[in-house]
Amino acid sequence: MTHDFDSAIALAPSGPDRFTGSTHPAYANMVGPYGGITCATLLQAVLLHPQRLGTPVALTVNYAGPIADGAFEISARATRTNRSTQHWNLELSQQGVIATTATAVFALRRPSWSSVEASAHGNLPPPAQLPAADLSARLPWTGRYDMRFVDGAFPEPLDGVEQPQSLARVWLRDEPPRPLDFLSLAALCDAFFPRVYTRRRRFTPAGTVTLSAYFHADEAMLASQGTQHVLGVARGLAYHQGFHDQSAEIWGQGGQLLATTHQMVYFRD
Amino acid sequence: MTHDFDSAIALAPSGPDRFTGSTHPAYANMVGPYGGITCATLLQAVLLHPQRLGTPVALTVNYAGPIADGAFEISARATRTNRSTQHWNLELSQQGVIATTATAVFALRRPSWSSVEASAHGNLPPPAQLPAADLSARLPWTGRYDMRFVDGAFPEPLDGVEQPQSLARVWLRDEPPRPLDFLSLAALCDAFFPRVYTRRRRFTPAGTVTLSAYFHADEAMLASQGTQHVLGVARGLAYHQGFHDQSAEIWGQGGQLLATTHQMVYFRD
């Protein structure tokens, strides 16, 4: 049986540098699709492209406007191909109106000196000792993840009591389980709700305007994760004049840093 | 007298959505221009564009290939304009070959709840108590900055003694002084040399492949900085298979977080 994730990111070629796809109800957000599934769908366009070189190094997705439920078209154009790196421009549009733009960097990666410098998060309770969060009544896409918060769960009640920091540490895996790959890793990069909710404990319209994902994992590292939970760690840095940023890490089992990701979030006061 | 920075980012309109400019020797890097001056030049294209809405929120620059010394052309296209946000696609090309691609998000920003959550760096020695670094023999563009390292100066000698971390804290201002604005702030986002040099203390080819800058400052915050030094804080997170990321903060006087910035760096082993 096809996983809903794979159905949601399925694309059909529709011409040179063009693909068509459709939103999937399993990954619906409050309005339009979950941003992470859009990341994965855009990455998929490059992965399916006959000119693609290597594996993902970086992906930046700009949420330029709402995506309506239904069909969309993606254009994917290699802007420059070098010996070992390749740059891509992507646009997702509906009825000729651009809803999302993106750029991607791919590369033929080779063994090199390697190090994880970011601080690891040792001695956390393992997923089996934590309850699974359930926000799916609010946000359908969250039902497609098993999320187990060590700290920084979605604030309930939304009592307006301001918090000094927004750190969240959460075990994450696809629900039902699906072996980790670049596509699901890209989707996980947007799995952290706006940090302003944690800080202010009140609900206001908010959404990602731009997100970058940096891929540190190679295919062997991803394969070794299988369907285990990964650890997501997210925090905000600055909130000002209707926008804030947040940074996150996706850690694999064994202290592997699989991806780092950063975004700017729009929020209403 | 025109500051070299303003000469370096000067653009002339050359048609709808098009500008021409030229590299400037004062901001030369080892090969081609300093990446930060390219960031500022691309941002300038949007700032000069007659359709531009508001001020910068985010800029992502992809260094797709080398920029040769001399003339270049920039295309700047508004991909989507909403009520209060606007998205841009940019390409810098020479003789029809794309060298750099970029996306930008602009917005009409309004007062909102505000907070700096990132950890401040208190009690550092002020710039006047630190020597100015001089790397300009190696890298011409560094002579266009007054850089005073609290820690994490460019490693000398390059003795190959591996270090456990890459943190740099450095006071930065334009040389000669120039009042801070969005353009110079964008340029400062690339002022942190590849963290792999600090970690490995050996020189290998390395360069930014993609950089994102998130602007937290508004015009009043920038104006209040004037020509004072700002504090740059940079660190690497993960190094693997020829690429590593690094994140940095640009702090203003008075504990203001002016910008955060992230990049993926290519490095040879």
Contact check, Cβ <8 Å, A241/B109: yes
Residue A89, in any domain of the structure: yes
* Rounded average pLDDT over B187-196: 97
Q: For residue A117, which residues of chain B lie inside 8 Å, CB to CB?
A: 165-166, 195, 199, 235-239
Round the CA-based radius of gyration of chain B to a whole number and report it.
18
Exposure pattern of B30-48 as b/e (b: 16+ CB <10 Å)? eebbbbbbbbbbbbbbbbb
With an 8 Å Cβ cutoff, are B260 and A245 in contact? yes
Is residue B115 in some structural domain?
Answer: no
Tell me what the mean pLDDT of segment B80-102 comes to: 98
The gap from C-alpha A134 to its chain's centroid, in whole angstroms, comes to: 19
pLDDT in tens, B200-253: 999 899 999 999 999 999 999 999 999 999 999 999 999 999 999 999 999 998
pLDDT at A209: 98
**Does A214 sit within 8 Å of B264, measured CB to CB?**
yes
Look up residue B50 and give its two tokens: 């007659």
User: Measured between beta carbons, which residues in chain A are less than 8 angstroms from residue B196?
Assistant: 113
pLDDT at B30: 87
DSSP strands (E only) in chain A = 12-15, 18-22, 55-63, 71-81, 85-94, 97-107, 115-116, 145-151, 168-174, 206-215, 230-240, 243-251, 257-267
Cβ contact, residue pair B209, A103, below 8 Å: no
**pLDDT score, position B136:** 81
pLDDT score for B122: 82
Query: Which of A94, A114, A219, A240 is most worth mutating to test chain B (most B CB atoms within 10 A of its CB)?
Result: A240
pLDDT digits (tens, 9 = 90+) for B9-18: 999 999 999 9
pLDDT tens-digit map of A32-78: 999 999 999 999 999 999 999 999 999 999 999 999 999 999 999 99
The pLDDT value recorded for residue A6 is: 98
A218 to chain B: which residues are within 8 Å by CB?
240-241
For residue A188, count CB atoms less than 10 angstroms from its CB and return exposed for 0-12, middle for 13-18, buried for 19 or more: buried
Helix (H) or strand (E) holding B240: strand B230-240
Q: Quick check: helix, strand or coil at residue A254?
A: coil
Nearest CA to B211 out of B261, B142, B159, B145 is that of B261
Is residue A208 one of the residues assigned to a domain? yes
Q: By CA distance, what is B63's nearest residue in A?
A: A87
What is the secondary structure of B138-204 as a DSSP string? T-GGGGGEEEEEEE-PPPSS------S---EEEEEEESS-----HHHHHHHTT-S--HHHHHH-S--
* H/E run at residue B234: strand B230-240
| Tokens, residue A125 | 């309770």
In a domain, B14, yes or no: yes
Close Cβ partners of A211 (under 8 Å, ≥ 6 residues apart): A35, A39, A60, A61, A63, A189, A190, A261, A262, A263
| pLDDT at residue B34 is higher than 90 | yes
Residue type, A150: V
Q: Render the burial of B225-245: b for 16+ CB within 10 Å, e for the rest.
A: beeebbbbbbbbbbbbbbbbb
On chain B, the residues whose CB falls within 8 A of the CB of A101 are 79-80, 87, 89, 103
Cross-chain residue pair A113–B80, CB shorter than 8 Å: no
Q: Is the pLDDT of residue B135 over 90?
A: no
Give mean pLDDT, residues A156-178: 96
Residues 6+ apart with CB under 8 A from B122: none
- What confidence tier does B108 reach under pLDDT thresholds 50, 70, 90? very high
Instruction: Please name the residue that has the structure tokens 């059909």.
Output: A12
Inter-chain CB proximity A79 and B85 less than 8 Å = no
B58 belongs to a structural domain: yes
Segments forming the whole domain that contains residue A243: 4-108+125-267
Cβ–Cβ below 8 Å for B238 and A260: yes
Interface mutation target, options A59, A112, A219, A246, chain B, most CBs of B under 10 Å: A112
Given a cut of 90, is residue B160 above it in pLDDT? yes
| Interface probe, candidates A59, A80, A109, A121, chain B, greatest B C-beta count within 10 A | A80
Summary count for chain A: helices (H), strands (E): 5, 13
The whole-angstrom separation of Cα B62 and Cα B99 is 9
Distances, alpha carbon B200 to alpha carbons A21, A117, A190, in Å: 45, 13, 32
pLDDT of residue A250 exceeding 90: yes
CA–CA separation, B57 and A244 (whole Å): 10
Q: What is the pLDDT of residue A124?
A: 96
Tokens for B116, please give them: 């700096």
B113 located within any domain: no
- Integer Cα distance of A122 and A255 in angstroms: 9
How many structural domains compose chain B? Answer: 1
Q: For B111-126, what is each residue's pLDDT tens digit? A: 999 999 999 888 999 9
pLDDT at residue B46, rounded to an integer: 98
pLDDT at residue B93 greater than cutoff 90: yes
pTM more than 0.95 = yes
Please tell me what DSSP assigns to residue A66: P
* 3-state SS class at A143: helix
Contacts of B16 (CB under 8 A, 6+ apart): none
> Do residues B105 and B54 make contact, with C-beta atoms less than 8 angstroms apart?
no
Query: In this structure, are strands B85-94 and B97-107 parallel, antiparallel, or unpaired?
Result: antiparallel
A136 domain residue, yes or no: yes
The 10 Å CB-count burial string (b at 16+, else e) for B135-168 is beeeebbbbbbbbbbbebbbbeeeeeeeeeebeb
The mean pLDDT of chain B is 96
Q: Please, what is the Cα angle at B163 between B162 and B165, to 5 degrees?
A: 145
> Would the pLDDT of A263 be above 90?
yes
Q: What is the ipTM of this complex?
A: 0.98
Residues from chain B that touch A163, judged by Cβ atoms under 8 A, are none
Cα–Cα nearest to B240, from A110, A114, A252, A249: A114
Q: Out of A4-18, A130-144, B139-153, which region has the weakest mean confidence (pLDDT)?
A: A130-144
Rounded Cα distance, B32 and B26, in Å:
11
Confidence of residue B79 (pLDDT cuts 50, 70, 90): very high
Check residue A186 and give left, alpha or beta (phi > 0: left; psi -120 to 50: alpha): alpha
Residue A31: predicted pLDDT: 86
Tell me if B238 is assigned to some domain: yes
CA distance A7 to A139: 19
3-state secondary structure of A246: strand
Which CATH number goes with the domain that contains B158? 2.40.160.210
